[in-house]
Chains A and B, each alone.
Chain A
Amino acid sequence: MALSSSSFLSTPSLSNSKSTISFASSVSPAPIPSLRRVVFRPASSHRRAMTVRSKIREIFMPALSSTMTEGKIVSWLKTEGEKLAKGQSVVVVESDKADMDVETFYDGYLAAIVVGEGETAPVGAAIGLLAETEAEIEEAKSKAASKSSSAPPVVPSPPPATSSPAPAISQPAPVAAVSDGPRKTVATPYAKKLAKQHKVDIGSIAGTGPFGRITASDVEAAAGIAPSVSQPPPPPPPAAAAAAPTATVKAAATSSPPLLPDSSVVPFTAMQSAVSKNMIESLSVPTFRVGYPVNTDALDALYEKVKPKGVTMTALLAKAAGMALAQHPVVNASCKDGKSFSYNSNINIAVAVAINGGLITPVLQDADKLDLYLLSQKWKELVGKARSKQLQPHEYNSGTFTLSNLGMFGVDRFDAILPPGQGAIMAVGASKPTVVADKDGFFSVKNKMLVNVTADHRIVYGADLAAFLQTFAKIVENPDSLTL
């Protein structure tokens, strides 16, 4: 029982009726603040030039508890320029324990907000400026500007309690110009929030939403930021992506055709995003394809024999590919920068697996060296991890060669896209009984499987690939070596 542990989490003593904290201004020699009422006494103005007689006070991040080292501004309750009366709550600060209102100890004007909402500041740092008179607001603002050259940007304060509607700007909306006469700007709640956050003048944005209203994506476009993850634009069409694979999201988004009515936009999952990125990248690699028919009668016979021992067809094919790659290291090489290439010391066969809602390539490391049974065992483990999304990065991104098998669906041949960073990928079709004529003119029926390898032509040439496939076919057609 960990009953005693609760004593570590002492509650801040908020039991007094007044839970607000007062600040005054200026620096104080770090007093141990009482929790009940934090009052920062102003130091005399010797820190400022004597000629400056202005009464601009700094508002500091108060220490709300003995353990607090920094605080987060939850919200500013006053806006810049607003008049403050002594005792009024000005800002809400979140400490390590609780949120508390901080009230002013002086009358004056909130001249500038130095630390915006949602930002944190260490205890004692200036978070805002308080001007004594209205005339000093400007001066305080320039002070704040110089102060915050490295500090976080000034963020406008939250909407006042009596929120006024969006500024009605009577300029004709550029998009909705079809309507009669000038229209007022209509912006959705989130668009307004974003505009405030990114300091975009909402009146200057052309709304593209329903009825010409300004939506969040309009503001994001105007602010030049990538749309938020929760509402991505429809995925760019492949054609556009192919033409400009490095195009920014923004450009791609603007080039995408409008959605048909009633269609729904489904944001990419993390996995889909990763696949998408890789696929776009693959377009920068010059590839070519070579196909080869392989007789699988012997392999099928072997498979029947070893199946009870837990050996899968995937493991057999991976082992065969691994052994063939060992003899043709160039096919296992990779070219990353287009200027040089590297021979990989290990033969790691990545195998494409469709899992719920995606595609992942668990890697059988050292496929040429491990024996068939260990390989099968390893494979089962990887598939289990893949299904439960437990794969570690090195278990899916360390492949040097990829195997993709669609034979179980009856696909007789297909070609695969070469994953970036690898030399070649093998696409395996179904093994089917095929009538073949031998050199003596005798017909027979053999099980034939078409494999098709896509390779990076910068490093792998046609003859290399053909030789590799020949070796692979030999291994598969005489599979006894697989079990050694």
Chain B
Amino acid sequence: MQSAFSLSFSQSSLTPPNRPLCSSNAAPRNLRFCGLRREAFGFSPSKQLTSCRFQIKSRRIEVSAAASGNGAPSKKSFDYDLVIIGAGVGGHGAALHAVEKGLKTAIIEGDVVGGTCVNRGCVPSKALLAVSGRMRELQNEHHMKSFGLQVSAAGYDRQGVADHASNLATKIRNNLTNSMKALGVDILTGFGSVLGPQKVKYGKDNVITAKDIIIATGSVPFVPKGIEVDGKTVITSDHALKLESVPDWIAIVGSGYIGLEFSDVYTALGSEVTFIEALDQLMPGFDPEISKLAQRVLINPRKIDYHTGVFASKITPAKDGRPVMIELIDAKTKEHKDTLEVDAALIATGRAPFTNGLGLENINVATQRGFIPVDERMRVIDGNGKLVPNLYCIGDANGKLMLAHAASAQGISVVEQVTGRDHVLNHLSIPAACFTHPEISMVGLTEPQAREKAEKEGFKVSIAKTSFKANTKALAENEGEGLAKMIYRPDNGEILGVHIFGLHAADLIHEASNAIALGTRIQDIKLAVHAHPTLSEVVDELFKAAKVESPASTTPQSVKAAV
């Protein structure tokens, strides 16, 4: 699983912090103003802040490094209520929610704010995919003709495309930084590590204490051994997003989300692509029916071929007038199968947790293949299988579900817990999407997973399907290719999984993921109204096509099930 997903951030989430110690005599609005003023004028507390002044002073004595105020630590013995190591999307989501809950929060970042998603992942890749989508459309003469449009040959400027991606990353990074600054989250610069219980070091030798600590250090591209990455002809997604070249022929190792999205970009820009997949079929991890259809649309008609069931055991960058050489061995027998000569190779074999140098040995935590073991509440488990008090790990570093928005959801869940409300995140309600053209999205179980579960637990499973070919809006766009599929329980109407392949699938999935998260049953949601003509009717049709034995509840709310 990889984290090629996007989240968007807007300033609208700047909820005024609600600080318990000041709340009796200062309105939240004043407090927010206080935060802004402090940011603008450094440390001089102004007269307006009388009600809070004592606190701020006392904190200044304790925390010389803190740059601004976002609340006061609940207990005087700690510098912060919450310290988050890593300012990626997960850390950011946790920080925002923590401030909203009145926690004094700091976030430590050793690199740039935004982490993988914003700087080297979902965000810049969406910029490239936006370009590839348009190129694809403009180059498709048949498609244009069917609209009655005449377009002369479409071309592109590589640097212009690359600039669009880097500009977008910069913009989103600034949005993220500003949203935290505006709320008064302390952004501490330097690599963070855990010194001991409730104690964190960052930078060279700054030590702070916190009541609770969240590790959110994320991941880096995983490069299997034998592969030499030179950043020019053998690259990872980090390099590919800079789009420094568009090779004539690129091999993509791995056909998961990252590989698929890049194949979409490269083929739209004129490259030919060869997939190398270790498993027996392309696009493992997707519902088989979806991946079959996706292969029919995203792979077969394009300038793509593939080798499945093989490992790239050795990849040598182009040098001395030789192309990139890729040794393929059989995934099972390990016998040499073939040698490929291509212009470039993109390693998209997944991502490895970035947990080195975190000081985990100080608290007796052993990583598993680099991942930090956690329980369902993201509490870190130590080498003896015991919970480490006040220490949490979210996002790619725990490996539960390596998606930006999953990290953020996990962070919010942790903040809920440390502020006194028990919360367990339902990972089956977290949607995922792959932004090819058309898009693929999913939530919950695949059909084989659902059937396995049904067999074990003894319930029946039914499938409902609808085609984009029957949707007015999709046909108006000449984009009738696509399928939506729902796996559900016919006895009680529970949605087990929804998989969509088609125009704007990534935007369509949320009706299903919300239904799963809230426990809404099909017999109730099928009565909801969808605007006509919209793509959302594809999902509407899905609900309506389902045959559920239970009657609709009288009020939709009454069927809320435990999540």
The residue on B at minimum CB distance from A230 is B139
Chain A 154-167 interface mask (CB, 8 Å, partner B; 1/0): 00001101110100
Chain A 179-198 interface mask (CB, 8 Å, partner B; 1/0): 00000101011101100000
- Judge whether B341 and A15 touch: CB under 8 Å: no
Partner of A74, one of B296, B343, B546: B296
Assess whether A97 is interfacial by the CB under 8 Å rule.
Answer: yes
- Chain A nearest Cβ from B36, distance in angstroms: 47
- Judge whether A161 and B281 touch: CB under 8 Å: yes
- Judge whether A268 and B153 touch: CB under 8 Å: yes
The residue on A at minimum CB distance from B274 is A189
Q: Which residues of A contact B129 (CB under 8 A)?
A: none
- Judge whether A99 and B296 touch: CB under 8 Å: yes
- With an 8 Å Cβ cutoff, the count of chain B residues facing the other chain is 52
Assess whether A389 is interfacial by the CB under 8 Å rule.
Answer: yes
- Judge whether B323 and A3 touch: CB under 8 Å: no
Assess whether A149 is interfacial by the CB under 8 Å rule.
Answer: no
> A2-B533, A97-B467, A161-B308 are known contacts. Are A267 and B303 too (CB-CB below 8 A)?
no
Assess whether B471 is interfacial by the CB under 8 Å rule.
Answer: yes
- Chain B nearest Cβ from A378, distance in angstroms: 24
- Judge whether A189 and B537 touch: CB under 8 Å: no
Q: How far is the CA of A163 from the CA of B305 in the complex (A)?
A: 8
- Judge whether A162 and B309 touch: CB under 8 Å: yes
- Judge whether A188 and B541 touch: CB under 8 Å: no
Assess whether A51 is interfacial by the CB under 8 Å rule.
Answer: no
- Judge whether A98 and B469 touch: CB under 8 Å: yes
Chain A 1-13 interface mask (CB, 8 Å, partner B; 1/0): 1110110011111
Assess whether A484 is interfacial by the CB under 8 Å rule.
Answer: no
The residue on B at minimum CB distance from A168 is B338
> A5-B472, A188-B272 are known contacts. Are A15 and B464 too (CB-CB below 8 A)?
yes
Q: What secondary structure prevails in chain B residues at the interface with A?
A: mixed
Which chain A residues numbered 128 to 179 have a C-beta less than 8 Å away from chain B? 158-159, 161-163, 165, 168
Which chain A residues numbered 10 to 44 have a C-beta less than 8 Å away from chain B? 10-17, 19
The residue on A at minimum CB distance from B322 is A211
Q: How far is the CA of A158 from the CA of B337 in the complex (A)?
A: 21
Which chain B residues numbered 447 to 496 have a C-beta less than 8 Å away from chain A? 461-467, 469-472, 475, 483
Q: How far is the CA of A15 from the CA of B466 in the complex (A)?
A: 8
Assess whether A270 is interfacial by the CB under 8 Å rule.
Answer: yes
> A188-B272, A269-B153 are known contacts. Are A15 and B547 too (CB-CB below 8 A)?
yes
The residue on B at minimum CB distance from A229 is B141
- With an 8 Å Cβ cutoff, the count of chain A residues facing the other chain is 52
Q: Which residues of A contact B281 (CB under 8 A)?
A: 161
- Judge whether B296 and A12 touch: CB under 8 Å: no
The residue on A at minimum CB distance from B538 is A11
- Judge whether B152 and A270 touch: CB under 8 Å: yes
Partner of B296, one of A92, A168, A190, A270: A92
- Judge whether B303 and A193 touch: CB under 8 Å: yes
- Chain B nearest Cβ from A175, distance in angstroms: 14
- Chain A nearest Cβ from B192, distance in angstroms: 45
Which chain B residues numbered 245 to 300 have a C-beta less than 8 Å away from chain A? 248-249, 272-274, 280-281, 293, 296, 300
The residue on A at minimum CB distance from B465 is A14
- Judge whether B300 and A158 touch: CB under 8 Å: yes
Q: Which residues of A contact B466 (CB under 8 A)?
A: 11, 14
Which chain B residues numbered 534 to 563 have a C-beta less than 8 Å away from chain A? 537, 541, 545-547
- Judge whether A267 and B153 touch: CB under 8 Å: yes
- Judge whether B305 and A189 touch: CB under 8 Å: yes
The residue on B at minimum CB distance from A17 is B463
- Judge whether A266 and B155 touch: CB under 8 Å: yes
Assess whether A75 is interfacial by the CB under 8 Å rule.
Answer: yes
Which chain A residues numbered 83 to 107 have a C-beta less than 8 Å away from chain B? 92, 96-99
The residue on A at minimum CB distance from B309 is A162
Partner of A15, one of B274, B293, B465, B475: B465
Residue in B280, B305, B532 with the greatest tally of chain A CB atoms within 10 Å: B305
- Judge whether A189 and B471 touch: CB under 8 Å: no
Q: How far is the CA of A158 from the CA of B306 in the complex (A)?
A: 12
- Judge whether A161 and B464 touch: CB under 8 Å: no
Assess whether A271 is interfacial by the CB under 8 Å rule.
Answer: yes
What are 9 A-B pairs at a CB distance below 8 A? Answer: A5-B532, A15-B546, A97-B470, A98-B483, A162-B309, A163-B306, A184-B339, A210-B323, A266-B155
A residues engaging B (CB < 8 A)?
1-3, 5-6, 9-17, 19, 74-75, 92, 96-99, 158-159, 161-163, 165, 168, 184, 186, 188-190, 192-193, 209-211, 213, 216, 229-230, 266-272, 357, 389
> When A and B form their complex, which 10 residue pairs have the shortest distance between CB atoms, in order from nearest?
A269-B152, A189-B305, A190-B303, A14-B465, A11-B470, A165-B338, A98-B467, A267-B153, A15-B545, A189-B272
